[in-house]
Amino acid sequence: MLTLEEIKRILPHREPFLMIDRITELTPGISARGVKAVSANEWFFQGHFHEEKIMPGVLIVESMAQVGAVAILTKPECRGLIALLGSIRKARFHKSVRPGDLIMIRTEITAWKDGFGTGQAEALVDGERAASTELVFRVQPRED
């Protein structure tokens, strides 16, 4: 399990764009499971939508990508690098995510070659699929 502070040592994201709160399972280079607790005070709910608050699908995809990035960046040969999202394929949104929901995110890296990886990801709320997608990642050195 990784805490929020441990995640911040791996990912460059910071609030308000850090979209995961905890990693609950991790097999470096292979898969990760994470959690995002969706608060009513999230910045994006101010405009999406005022009367009926729904988490934007693109941010659900971002949360899945961040969980995948943790899986990749904990591979020994990828430590200290940055994982960039190269492609989003077959994104599907099955259920709205609302304030108070707890998103359980699973990302599995299904292919890896020469700094590029493909992953299958899904986000679940109350055991039901909220979103799913295929992600393509690439890693490169950080430009600190």
At 86-139, the pLDDT tens digits run 999 999 999 999 999 999 999 999 999 999 999 999 999 999 999 999 999 999
Domains of the chain: 4-141 (3.10.129.10)
* Rounded Cα distance, 34 and 52, in Å: 26
At 33-70, the pLDDT tens digits run 999 999 999 999 988 887 899 999 999 999 999 999 99
Q: For the residues of 105-144, what is the DSSP string, one character each?
A: EEEEEEEEETTEEEEEEEEEETTEEEEEEEEEEEEEE---
Quick check: is 48 catalytic? yes
Prediction pTM value: 0.97
Residue 144 has pLDDT above 70, yes or no: no
Structure tokens at 32: 């990760």
Omega of the bond leading into 16 within 30 degrees of 0 (cis): yes
* Rounded Cα distance, 115 and 19, in Å: 24
Task: Catalytic residue, from 13, 48, 50, 94: name it.
Answer: 48
CA 46 → CA 41, 42, 115, distances in Å? 8, 8, 38
Beta bridge partners of 140: 82
